Every structure is written in C-alpha cells, then in structure tokens.
C-alpha cells in the first residue's frame, strides 16, 4: 500500500529500474545468440574445409590408383579405388 508521495516515487524508480534491467538482459541475450551463431558458422566452415581436403585426398589417391593400374599394379589400384569409394561422401558415391 502506497502511503506518501515519496513512496510512490520510490515505487516508480524501482519499477523503471527493473524494466531497464529487463531491457539490458534482452539485449545481452541477443548479443550472446549472435555470437553463438557466428561461432557455429565458423565451426561449420572449418568442417566443410576439412571435408574438401579429405575429398581432395581421396581423389588424389584415386589418381594414384590409375597410375598403379597403368603400371601393372592392379591390386594396389583396386585397393586405392576401394578406399576412395569408402571415404567419399554418400552423394558422391557411384
């Protein structure tokens, strides 16, 4: 129960302070969310780079398989093609 004008002003200040804190918390949560999204995006990009490097390695190993096959090393060539097929992503498999 508010009895005096001073109590009413104090109540308003407290209410305004709580509203300001709520706004600051909302802003802080928004900033944290953006930082988290940026971090996830960077992590995803790093993973994509690693996948591309692995794909490049698989394709280069496949190149070695062709060289082995041309030089009469059929067993080594087959092993390289099997490895390349195994490590290739699902959408790249034939």
Q: Do the domain assignments include residue 12?
A: no
Number of domain units in the chain? 1
Q: Do the domain assignments include residue 8?
A: no
Domain of residue 53: give its range. 20-92
Q: Do the domain assignments include residue 29?
A: yes
Q: Do the domain assignments include residue 46?
A: yes
Which residue would you say has higher pLDDT here, 39 or 23? Answer: 39
Q: Apex CA 14: angle with CA 19 and CA 4, to 5°?
A: 140
Q: How many angstroms separate the CA atoms of 66 and 78, rounded?
A: 9
Classify the C-alpha dihedral 48-53-58-60 as positive or negative. Answer: positive
Q: Do the domain assignments include residue 38?
A: yes
For residue 5, the model assigns a pLDDT of 66
Q: Do the domain assignments include residue 62?
A: yes
For residue 16, the model assigns a pLDDT of 84
Most confident of 17-21, 22-26, 38-42: 38-42
Q: Do the domain assignments include residue 45?
A: yes
Report pLDDT digits (tens) over 44-60.
988 888 877 777 776 66
């Amino acid at each position: 129960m508010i009895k005096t004008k001073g109590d009413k002003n104090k109540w308003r200040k407290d209410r305004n302070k709580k509203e300001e804190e709520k706004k600051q918390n909302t802003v802080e949560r928004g900033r944290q969310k953006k930082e988290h999204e940026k971090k996830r995006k960077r992590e995803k990009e790093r993973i994509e780079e690693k996948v591309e490097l692995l794909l490049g390695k698989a394709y280069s190993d496949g190149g070695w398989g062709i060289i082995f096959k041309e030089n009469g090393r059929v067993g080594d060539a087959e092993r390289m093609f099997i490895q390349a097929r195994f490590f290739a992503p699902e959408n790249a498999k034939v």
